[in-house]
Amino acid sequence: MDSHQVVHTSEVEASHGVFRALTDRLGVADFRVNQLELGADAEGPEHDHSSNGQEEVYAVIAGSGVLRADGQEIPLRPGHFVFCPPAVRRQMVAGEDGLTWIGIGSAIAETEAA
C-alpha cells in the first residue's frame, strides 16, 4: 500500500442508509473508523461493546441531536467529541436536521484490560 490513502464518503455505499465503513477502504489495521448518518428525528440502535471491549469516540460533523448514554441525554452539535468506554449503553438520536458523525473504535488491548 502507498504511504497514504484518500477516500471520499460519496464513494462508499451506506449500509442500511446509515453506516459508511471506511476502515478497509483506508487500509487501517489497528482501529475502526466509519461515518454514520441519521435522518431527521431518527434513532440509532441502543448498544454497548461489553462483549468485544471496544471503546469509541464520536466526532459530530453535521446536524444535531443527543447521545443517550447510561440514562443521560447529552446534546450534540458539530465540533463535539464524545468518548464511550465499552460497557456504556449508548444510542444516537438525531434532531430535526439529522445527525452525521465519525465513529472511531478500538478494542482495549489485553494487557491494558487486565
What does the pLDDT look like over 52-111, one tens digit per residue?
999 999 999 999 999 999 899 999 999 999 999 999 999 999 999 999 999 999 987 654
CB contact at 8 A, 89 and 58: no
pLDDT for the residue 114: 47
Contact 56, 105 (CB under 8 A): yes
Residue 7 has pLDDT above 70, yes or no: yes
* 20 vs 78, more confident: 78
CB 33 within 8 A of CB 26: yes
Structure pTM? 0.85
Looking at per-residue pLDDT, the higher value among 15 and 74 belongs to 74
Architecture of domain 19-113: Sandwich (2.60)
A 10 A CB-CB count for 57 gives 16
What is the spatial distance between Cα 26 and Cα 12, in angstroms, rounded to a whole number? 11
pLDDT, tens digit, for every residue of 43-66? Answer: 999 999 999 999 999 999 999 999
Q: Which residue has the higher pLDDT, 35 or 108?
A: 35
Helix (H, G, I), strand (E, B) or coil at 66: strand
